[in-house]
Amino acid sequence: MDIVFAVLADAANVSQEGKLNILGTFGHINASTFPARHPEMQLVVRMEASPAEAGTQKKLEVKVLDEDGQQIGSYQGDFIVPPAAKAGERAQMQMVMRLVDTVFPEQGRYQFAILIDDRTEYEVPLNVGRQG
């Protein structure tokens, strides 16, 4: 299982045809008072898996960490790896996770660590505070 990319965005969806639509990716949130609350954002992840993983169940967890590595939030769920579109190819999966009212206790650098089966596969950085 590989994560091809992951981003934070203002909005995202997967169309009926399977197209991933992403609007407004970002890596910084302006905030002047803390704790800062961000009303809504999307964590968008594209993954690939080998044909051998088709049909297996995976545990997905996203940990929100502050710059000291302390966990301030988490989201988790399970999924089953689908078969690839064509035999012998890698299966492709897309996930859009809606994050509502995320609270950042203080100014600094945060990480959205994406774990699959308890192993960190990708980290999405986010700076929160005054820019400049």
Residues 5-54: pLDDT tens digits? 999 999 999 999 889 999 999 999 999 999 999 999 999 999 999 999 99
- The residues facing 21 across adjacent strands are 13
Token pair belonging to 93? 């999966």
At 123, list the tokens. Answer: 């980290």
Query: For the domain bounded by 2-128, which CATH number is listed?
Result: 2.60.40
User: What's the whole-model pTM score?
Assistant: 0.92
Q: What's the whole-number mean pLDDT along residues 63-81?
A: 95
What local confidence, expressed as pLDDT, does residue 55 receive? 95
> What is the Cα–Cα distance from 55 to 119, expressed in whole angstroms?
19
- DSSP code of 25? E
